[in-house]
Structure 1
C-alpha cells in the first residue's frame, strides 16, 4: 500500500510538472509575435523564434470574436501584419497598443481607431467598414496555413516546400536522368557523372593528391570521365554489346554531349526509356568495376559486367511490366 501511495504521488508530481511546462509553452506561443530572441532563452526556442518571418507569410488569421487574434502582429487583413503596413508609429497614430487583440480595437458600436493620418491608415479604415464587428460574433478566431494565398486545410510540408524552395531554370538533360522507373542509386550516379563530379583519378590529381592518373582498365590513358565511360576499350566493349541489341549501326561516342543526344532520341526499336535504363546501368556498373580494380586489385571482364547490366534491365522491366511504357520493353531488349 505504501508503494502504491508513493507511485500515486510521483504520478501527481509528474503531471503537475507537465502541466506547468505546457502552460509555459502555451504562454510563449500566444505571445509568438511579441517575443524577442534573447541569450537567456534556450537555443531551441531561439531557433523557433528566428523562423517567425518565414512562418508569418503562411499563417492567416480568420477573425471572428477577436479574442485570440493580435491586432498588430497577426495577418488578419489583406495588408499582412499591420505593424509593418502602418510602420512603428502606427500604434501611436491609431491609439491602439501593441499588445492589443482585435476585440480591444472595437466596441459594440464600432471601431475605436483614431482618424487616419496616412494613406495606408485610410485604406485600413475603409477595409474595416467591410467586415463584421467582432463584438457581434461569438465564434472563436481561427488560424489557417495558406500557400500562394489559398487555405490548404492544414499544414502540408510538401506544398510549403514547393513554395519555399529555390528554383532554377530546368536543365535540358533532367529527363535523361530523373524519370519514373529509374533505379535511384543508378540515377544518382548518372547525375554525378553528368556534372563530372565523380572522383576520377584526373580530378583527384587536380585536388593535389599524389595519385597515378592512368586508367585502371587499359593503363594507356588518363582516367577522366569521358575516357572511363566512353572511350576506354573496356567500356567500348560494353557499348558494343548494348548496340548489338539497340542500335547495330551505332559508332562509339566521342563526347558526353553525344551520349546524351543518343539517349534522347526514341525509336520503335529502341525507346528512349530503354536507352536511359541501359546507360545508367552501364555508368553505375563500370564505376563499381573501376572501384574494384583500384581497391581490390581486380575487375570482372566486360562480358561479366554486361551480364550484370542485362540482369538490371530485366529486373526493372519485370517489376514494372504492368506500366504501359514498360510492357513491350522486354521483347525489344532480348531480341
Structure 2
C-alpha cells in the first residue's frame, strides 16, 4: 500500500543537495522540476548519459557538471537551473530530505497539512448555516443538504437520465418536477408554505426561488427567530419530499393540510425534545402563536 502511494508522496518529499552522495539524480526531487525521470522522460538517462541508479554526485566533477549539451527544451531548463546552484563536489555536508507542503517546510511529517493539501476545502456555501445548526434533526439536515446541492432524484433529473418516460410533477401533474417546482411553486407545496407563513411570518409572500427560501430562513425577527425558521423549512422540505415519494412509489395521496399537521406535530416534538436548551425555550410559544 505504501509503495502504491509513492507517486502521491513525491509531491511533498524534497531533497536539499549537499555533497550529492545520497540523493538519486533521476528519482529524488532535488530540482524545481520534480523527479527528472518524469521531467525528461524515459529517454533522459540515454541523452544525459547517466544510469538510472546514478546519484547527483555522479553528474558533476570538481570543475562543473558532466552533462552533454541539451537537446530539448526541458533539458535546457535543467541546464539553466544547474548554473544557479552550488556544485555538490564543493560541499562537505550530506544531502538532507524534508517534507514540504505548499512551499512550506514542515518540521518532520505533518499529516494535517498534507491532508489539507490533498483535499483542499471549497469556499463555504452561504446556505451552510441554513442546513447545519445546533439542534437540527440529522435526517432532515441531510435531506436539506442534498436539496441545497440540487441532487434530489426529481423526475426531471430521472427523465434527463433516460430512467423514466415523463418528467411531470407527481403532486400536481402540471409542470416538470424540478427541485424549485416541487418544493416551492407546486400547488401542493404552496398550500403548506402558506400554512407555515400563518405561523411565523404573516406578511411574507410566496417564494419565487430556492435562494429566496434560504434567504427567508436566515432572516430573524422577534416573532420568528432564525432557528425556528430553519427548523420549519427543514421539516417542511422533508415532508414534501416524503409525500412525493409516497405518491410515486405507493400511489398514496394525502391532502396538503394533512401533511402540514404532520409538520406541525414534528416541529412541536423537536422543540419539546430540546426545551432544556436556552435558545429553544421560547420557540414553542412562537410556533403556536
TM-score w.r.t. structure 1 length? Answer: 0.59
Q: CA deviation at 1:111?
A: 7.3
> 1:25-82: CA deviations, max 9, x gaps?
99xx6xxxxxxxxxxxxxxxxxx38x72x54322213456755421222112445334
Structure 1 runs not aligned, ≥5 long: 1-24, 30-47, 322-326
How much has 1:89 moved relative to structure 2?
A: 8.0
Whether the 8 Å CA contact 1:116–1:122 is kept in 2: the answer is no
CA 275–161 in structure 1, closer or farther in 2 if over 3 Å, else same: farther
What is the CA–CA distance in structure 1 between the aligned matches of 2:18 and 2:248, rounded to whole Å? 70
Question: Retained in 2: the 8 A contact 1:213–1:223?
Answer: yes
Q: Could you tell me which of 150, 161, 182 is aligned with 1:228?
A: 182
Q: Does 1:56 align with 2:10?
A: yes
Measure how far apart 1:234 and its partner are. 4.9
Q: Alignment partner for residue 203 of structure 2, among 249, 254, 262?
A: 249
Shift of 1:227: 4.4
Paired residue secondary structure (2:282): helix
| Count of residues in Structure 1 that have an aligned counterpart in Structure 2 | 272
Describe the superposition over 1:221-240 as per-residue Cα deviations: whole angstroms up to 9, x where unpaired: 45734443234565445434
Residue 331 in structure 1 maps to residue 282 in structure 2: yes
Give 1:209's aligned residue.
164
Q: Distance in 2 between matches of 1:222 and 1:89?
A: 62
Q: What are structure 2's unaligned runs of at least 5 residues?
A: 70-75
Which whole-Å CA distance do the structure 2 matches of 1:262 and 1:92 have between them?
68
Is 1:99 aligned to residue 53 of structure 2? yes
Is 2:21–2:56's contact at 8 Å kept on the other side of the alignment?
A: yes
Q: Is the contact made by 1:116 and 1:125 (CA closer than 8 Å) also made in structure 2?
A: no
Structure number with greater CO (CA < 8 Å, separation at least 6) is: 2
Cα distance in 1 for residues equivalent to 2:173 and 2:66? 86
Match of 1:278 in 2: 232
What is the correspondence of 1:1-335 to structure 2 with a 5 Å cutoff? 48=4, 52=7, 54-63=8-17, 66=20, 68-83=22-37, 96-105=50-59, 110=62, 113-114=65-66, 120-129=78-87, 133=91, 136-137=93-94, 141-144=96-99, 146-152=100-106, 153-154=108-109, 156=111, 159-160=113-114, 162-164=116-118, 173-175=126-128, 178-181=131-134, 183-194=137-148, 196-201=150-155, 204=158, 207=162, 209-210=164-165, 213=168, 215-216=170-171, 221-222=174-175, 224=177, 225-232=179-186, 234-296=188-250, 297=252, 299=254, 301-312=259-270, 315=273, 321=277, 327-332=278-283, 334-335=285-286
Inter-partner Cα distance in structure 1 for 2:203 and 2:117: 47
Structure 1 counterpart SS, 2:14: strand
Report if aligned partners of 2:159, 2:165 keep a CA contact under 8 Å in 1.
Answer: yes
1:148 Cα deviation from its structure 2 partner:
0.5
Q: Deviations over 1:283-322 (max 9, x none)?
A: 112212332344343656421232123434555x669x4x
- The answer on whether the counterparts of 1:96 and 1:113 sit within 8 Å (CA) in structure 2 is no
Q: What secondary structure, in the 3-state scheme, does the structure 1 residue paired with 2:266 have?
A: helix
Query: Which whole-Å CA distance do the structure 1 matches of 2:144 and 2:55 have between them?
Result: 56
Retained in 1: the 8 A contact 2:231–2:267? no
Tell me the distance in 2 between the aligned counterparts of 1:75 and 1:212.
55
Q: Is the 8 A contact 2:20 2:89 kept in 1?
A: no
Question: Could you say what the CA RMSD is over the residues aligned between the two structures, in angstroms?
Answer: 4.5
Alpha-carbon distance between aligned partners in 1 of 2:40 and 2:166, rounded to the nearest angstrom:
64
